[in-house]
Amino acid sequence: MRFRRSLVLPVILAAAIAGIGPSPAAATGGGEAVEVTAPSLYPEGVAWDPTRQATLVGSVRFGTVAVVQRDRTVRTLVNDPAIVSVFGLTVDAARGRILVTYGDLGLGERSAPETVDRQSGLGIFDLRTGARIALVDLAVGEGGHAANDVAVDPRGNAYVTDTVGDALFRVDPRGRITAHVTGPEFASEGFGLNGVVWHPDGFVLTVLYSSGRLFKVDMDSGRIGTVKLERPLVGGDGLVLRHDGSLVSVTNDLGTPGLNAVRLLSSADHWRTSRERRITTRWPDGKPTTATATPFGTVVLTGHLDALLAGDTSVRTFALRRF
C-alpha cells in the first residue's frame, strides 16, 4: 500500500514530522517526538495499525491495548479480565487480528500471588472490535514463565519469546503451538529472551536481554545460531526489521547495566554477522523499550516503566519518538 502525504498528516506524530524528510539523529538525541496523555498506562509494547492509520500500545499496569488518538490521548480497545499485563503486541492486518503477549511480573493491577511468573500466553483479538478470539497458554514446563514479545509472518504464524522460561514458541493461526525451541544458549540470569522478529528468509532473530547476544533461530530444526556483533546489545529489548533488511535494536538499563539507546544494524551474510551502522545514545525520553515500523519511519516507545518498577503509579504520559 502506498501512503500519500494526505493520509500521513492526520496521524499521531504528524505535527512533528510534516514536511520533514528522513534525517539521521545526532549521537545523543532522537528525532521528532510527542507526549501522549494516558494516566498510569505504562506501555511496554507498541504496534502500527494500518487499518486505522494509528498506533496501538499495551499496558503493563492495566493489561489492556489502547489506540493512540489524534488528540494525543488513548482509547481502550482490548480489555480482557483474564490478562494481568500486556507486554509485546503486533498487528496481523491480513487476518484482522491483534496478537499480544501477556503475563504477570507483579506490576499489574490484576496481579496475584498465584499468577506472578506463572501466567504466560499469547492473546489473539479482533482488530476492529477488540473482542477475544483466543488465549493460548504458553506456560509450558516447570519453573517460571512470562511471554514477552511477539512477531508474525505472512502465513499468520506467531513467534513468542518467554523471558523467564528461556524459550521461543511458534503458534499457528489456529492457536496451536507448532514449535518450542529452548537450549543452553538462551539461559540467563535475570531477564532472558526479549525482542523478536521474523525474517522473510524463513528464520527468527531474537535478543537475550541480560547478555545482549543476538540469535538466529530456525524454528523447524530448532537450530540456534549466534550472530556475531561488533558489541553486545546488553539490555536488548525491542527489535524491528525494516523494509531495507536492517534491524533496529532498542536497549535500556531497566534490569541490567545496558545503554538507553537505539541502534541500527545491518548484515551482508544473512545474519551470521552484523555491522552497527548507527546508534543514538542518552535517549531523550528516558528508558525506551521497543519500537514499531510506520509509514513515516521507525517510532520508539518510552513508557516510563522505571517509575512503575519503583512503585510510582502516578505518571500520566508516555513518549513516542521517531528514530
CA distance 313 to 323: 28
Is position 59 within any domain? yes
Q: Which residue segment(s) compose the domain that 241 sits in?
A: 5-19+31-322
CA distance 204 to 153: 10
The pTM is what?
Answer: 0.91
Quote the cell numbers at residue 67: 489506540
Cα within 13 Å of Cα(8), Cβ side: 18
Is position 287 within any domain? yes
- Tell me the pLDDT of the chain (323 aa) as tens digits: 332 333 333 355 544 333 223 333 334 566 899 999 999 999 999 999 999 999 999 999 999 999 999 999 999 999 999 999 999 999 999 999 999 999 999 999 999 999 999 999 999 999 999 999 999 999 998 899 999 999 999 999 999 999 999 999 999 999 999 999 999 999 988 889 999 999 999 999 999 999 999 999 999 999 999 999 999 999 999 999 999 999 999 999 999 999 999 999 999 999 999 999 999 998 999 999 999 999 989 999 999 999 999 999 999 999 999 99
Is position 256 within any domain? yes
DSSP state of 211: T
- Cα 39 to Cα 141, 259, 301, 305, 312, distances in angstroms: 36, 27, 16, 13, 12
What CATH number does residue 211 fall under? 2.120.10.30
Q: Which residues contact 291 (CB under 8 A, 6 or more apart)?
A: 46, 238, 240, 248, 250, 262, 298, 299, 300, 301, 323
Is position 26 within any domain? no
Is position 79 within any domain? yes
Is position 72 within any domain? yes
Q: Distance from CA of residue 47 to its chain's centroid?
A: 8
CA distance 234 to 214: 10
Is position 40 within any domain? yes
> Distance between terminal CA atoms of the chain?
22
Is position 25 within any domain? no
Number of domains in the chain: 1
Q: How many helices (DSSP H) and strands (DSSP E) are in the chain?
A: 3, 24
What is the per-residue pLDDT across 233-255, written as a single tens digit (0 to 9) for each? 999 999 999 999 999 999 999 99
| pLDDT computed for residue 28 by the predictor | 52
CA distance 316 to 44: 15
